[in-house]
Structure 1
């Protein structure tokens, strides 16, 4: 028995057309839900005000760089933050503000005490996860400011 080959009809074309659009719409909805679910805040509250402060931020960064001080933060298992510093003078005062880069934008103030060999240890701890740490080092009338991510 021979089977008659089927022909491609307008109904088949309509099903291909509708199916293709259904796939595109489904992917767009999925990507939109991922985008909305992963962004929970703003980077700056007012972009105009931030643009007006930009030159001051650059000048402060250049002054900090000229001091030659460096600080590299790491989060310990107990939640406290260790700063590995370079060229920071004895008697310096180090503070920082830890903030989540996205989501709950609550901040945690950190104060550091010397732990020997260029290390400084925070008195406070931070929860696990991703944090942006804004550090300030003051010594001898000089001020260094830096920012780093901690995980």
Structure 2
């Protein structure tokens, strides 16, 4: 059998191989990108029973609206010395605050922090917290009213 040299513009097996490698390369690159977005974003919420959680959803929305009406604001952050510091705005002077911290991913690491009110109106943890990402669940109470927030810090 005689081999013929492909003419210019003819689609060969080599062209098909390049098209397959390029196509699968794009698909793999997009998958890696989407996986990195998924693992660095929302860590998820685990509930024991999704049906029961769905039935409580409207109540949670009503509670969130009551919290907004209070006008309280709080911004947690990890200070340079490792303590959790919570800046507040509109929170009454006699308010009490508590915090639970947990890691968003990986090993289950969680603890409850004791927060002490400072003279400047901020709250500060008694013990420092380790470096890294944390999810802080704050609860501030005053005169029978309660305010909750969950936020990530680094």
Structure 1 match to 2:19: 20
Instruction: Name structure 2 gaps, 5 residues minimum.
Output: 1-5
1:56 paired residue number: 59
- Is the partner of 1:91 in helix, strand or coil? coil
Structure 1, unaligned runs of 5 or more: 1-5
Cα distance 1:107–1:24, how it changes in 2: closer, same or farther (>3 A)? farther
User: What is the CA-CA distance between 1:82 and the residue it aligns to?
Assistant: 0.6
Match of 1:133 in 2: 136
Partner of 1:148: 151
Does the CA-based 8 Å contact 2:99-2:136 persist in structure 1?
yes
- C-alpha separation in 1, matches of 2:58 and 2:84: 30
Residue 121 of structure 1: how far off its partner (Å): 0.3
Q: Aligned pair 1:119/2:122, yes or no?
A: yes
Residue 39 (structure 2) aligns with: 39
Whether the 8 Å CA contact 1:39–1:103 is kept in 2: the answer is no
For normalisation by structure 1, the TM-score amounts to 0.77
Q: State how 1:89-128 maps to structure 2 within 5 Å.
A: 89-128=92-131
Q: Which residue of 2 aligns with 1:8?
A: 8
- Cα deviation for residue 43 of structure 1 reads 0.6
Tell me how many residue pairs correspond in the alignment: 146
Distance in 2 (CA, whole Å) between partners of 1:54 and 1:83 is: 28
Taking CA–CA contacts closer than 8 Å with sequence separation of 6 or more, which of the two structures ends up with the larger relative contact order? 1
When normalised by structure 2's length, the TM-score is 0.76
CA RMSD of aligned residues (A): 2.9
Question: Aligned partners of 1:118, 1:62: CA distance in 2, in Å?
Answer: 25
